Amino acid sequence: MSGFDPAAQIASRVNEMRESAILRMARLTRELRARGADIVALTLGEPDFDTPEIIRRAACIALEDGYTHYPPVPGLPELREAIAEKLRRDNGLDYGQQGVLVTAGAKQALANAILALVNPGDEVILPAPYWNAYDILVELAGGVPVVVPGDAARGFQPDVAHIAERVTDRSRLIILNTPCNPSGAVFSREVLASLAEIVRAHPRLMIISDEIYEHILYDGARHVSIGSLPGMLERTITINGFSKAYAMTGWRLGYAAAVPELCVAMTKLQGAFTAGVNAFSQKAAVTALKEGAAEVERMRREYERRRALMLRLLQEVPGISLQAPAGAFYMLPDVSALLANAAGGLPRDDLALAEWLLLEHGVATVPGSAFAAPGTLRLSFATSEDNIRKGVSRLREGLQRLAQMLPQGA
Ligand SMILES: Cc1ncc(COP(=O)(O)O)c(C=O)c1O
């Protein structure tokens, strides 16, 4: 042994990254399964469908056709044009081809956007609940996350008045996600218009709008892109991707759209990091956009059935309150009534509750604290009906047992 400790050499920016509660639950689930435990997971934010065949076939044909070389860093012109056209047609966003950057998943699009805009000390407003990658990326950029709590009673629409109070001259970005992971809220046009007003009144403030669940909507909910509101195109970076709508998580395909100057800045970062996305996947993405609509709708209908099933089953679970999600494939029941009076060894917060449900009842959920929504659990219904039945049944048994163990009068 040389006495040299490689682990001690790791840069502080990495050491300072917290383990997310999502990754922690995933790790515990893996460890328990490796020891032979039977665990039902309601944790995964991933379609359980295979990528539709027409899209898979397009990738095979592209490979045969020689799409095996470096692509242009911002993406194949053909795909950038197809995305620009989609944004114009579906979202009322006229960024043009020069405003589209193809990325390795929406996650890389978010990383590019945040690193391109946030200077150390800049404040980034995160209306909660929010997807947990946002604060990690903001902190990596040296920015300061400013969390504005959400409110189930208002359907988890962003709290505009509270957001306005948190705006300062150091504010740089507001990150929105509609439809929202984890709440399933679809932000209303009125709320988005009020947020746009706040942004337009500020000299530097911009929006990152993560719209990756835009096609997964229920009960007639309508998706609105904030960049399509008056004066907002140049102040908005719109993020989207293929993972959720087209069941293409493993392809790592997403995009950012912005005015060309910002697109060039993000492309510069991408050139340094990855030099772009593999070429044959990009060809398949063109097929997804041009020919995939029926498949997207087929999967959405299936999520709709699963959503109805989960909602029905959750009505039998004691101690929770729940809003039906208008979009995405998650539910965020409030379990705080069961935590408030916990005594002895009983779980006192959602983190402890999720771990207790996993260890005692074999059902994996994600604690809402992972999304700045303490007192809730996130349940995914992007899984089979059988899994939903088993998982919710275990949840019911666990929460029933917990309710009985609480001190009298609780
Ligand atoms: C809100 C949100 N944005 C972005 C992503 C990342 O998507 P991608 O697979 O395209 O990186 C996810 C994945 O869970 C998500 O929930």
Residues 147 and 213 in one domain: yes
Which strand (E) or helix (H) includes residue 361? helix 350-361
Query: Measured from the CA of 254, which atom of ligand 1 is nearest?
Result: 10
pLDDT at 408: 60
Q: Is the dihedral of CA 259, 243, 105, 276 positive or negative?
A: negative
Residue-wise pLDDT tens digits, 32-70: 999 999 999 999 888 999 999 999 999 999 999 999 999
CA 319 to ligand 1 center in whole angstroms: 30
Q: List Cα–Cα distances, 173 to 34, 119, 203, in angstroms.
A: 42, 11, 11
Any domain includes 408: no
Residues 217 and 353 in one domain: no
Residues 42 and 80 in one domain: no
CATH number at residue 77: 3.40.640.10
pLDDT at 21: 83
Cβ partners under 8 Å of residue 242, min gap 6: 248, 251, 253, 254, 285, 288
Residues 356 and 394 in one domain: yes
Any domain includes 409: no
Among 292, 322, 354, the domain-final residue is 292
Q: List Cα–Cα distances, 258 to 45, 98, 106, in angstroms.
A: 26, 9, 14
Preceding omega of 260 cis (within 30 degrees of 0): no
Which strand (E) or helix (H) includes residue 403? helix 385-405
Does the beta carbon of 212 lie inside 6 Å of ligand 1? Answer: yes
CATH number at residue 16: 3.90.1150.10
Any domain includes 326: yes
Mean predicted confidence (pLDDT) in 145-161: 95
Task: Share the mean pLDDT of the chain.
Answer: 95
Residues 342 and 258 in one domain: no
Residue nearest to atom 14 of ligand 1 (CA): 45
Does the beta carbon of 106 lie inside 6 Å of ligand 1? Answer: yes
Any domain includes 410: no
Q: Does residue 155 surpass a pLDDT of 60?
A: yes
Q: Does residue 410 surpass a pLDDT of 60?
A: no
Residue-wise pLDDT tens digits, 296-345: 999 999 999 999 999 999 998 988 999 999 999 999 999 999 987 777 77
pLDDT at 319: 87
Q: Is the dihedral of CA 34, 43, 129, 323 positive or negative?
A: negative
Does the beta carbon of 254 lie inside 6 Å of ligand 1? Answer: yes
Does the beta carbon of 396 lie inside 6 Å of ligand 1? Answer: no
CA 179 to ligand 1 center in whole angstroms: 12
Any domain includes 147: yes
Residues 198 and 75 in one domain: yes
- Percentage of the chain beyond pLDDT 70 is 99
Preceding omega of 129 cis (within 30 degrees of 0): yes
CA 207 to ligand 1 center in whole angstroms: 17
Mean predicted confidence (pLDDT) in 216-233: 98
Query: Measured from the CA of 108, which atom of ligand 1 is nearest?
Result: 11
Any domain includes 81: yes
Structural domain for 207, as ranges: 53-292
Among 292, 320, 338, the domain-final residue is 292
Q: Probe ligand 1: pick from 22, 126, 181, max atoms within 8 Å of CB? A: 181
Residues 11 and 60 in one domain: no
* Distance linking the first and last C-alpha atoms of the chain: 58
Does the beta carbon of 181 lie inside 6 Å of ligand 1? Answer: yes
Residues 265 and 122 in one domain: yes
Residues 299 and 155 in one domain: no
Residue-wise pLDDT tens digits, 264-287: 999 999 999 999 999 999 999 999
* Number of domains within the chain: 2
Mean predicted confidence (pLDDT) in 213-222: 97
Does the beta carbon of 243 lie inside 6 Å of ligand 1? Answer: yes
- Percentage of the chain beyond pLDDT 90 is 89
Q: Does residue 365 surpass a pLDDT of 70?
A: yes
Any domain includes 223: yes
Mean predicted confidence (pLDDT) in 348-364: 95
- Banded pLDDT at 26 (limits 50, 70, 90): confident
Residue-wise pLDDT tens digits, 246-265: 999 999 999 999 999 999 99
Any domain includes 92: yes
Calculate ∠ Cα 65-71-77, nearest 5°. 90
Residues 92 and 220 in one domain: yes
Residues 272 and 301 in one domain: no
Among 247, 273, 292, the domain-final residue is 292
Residues 312 and 205 in one domain: no
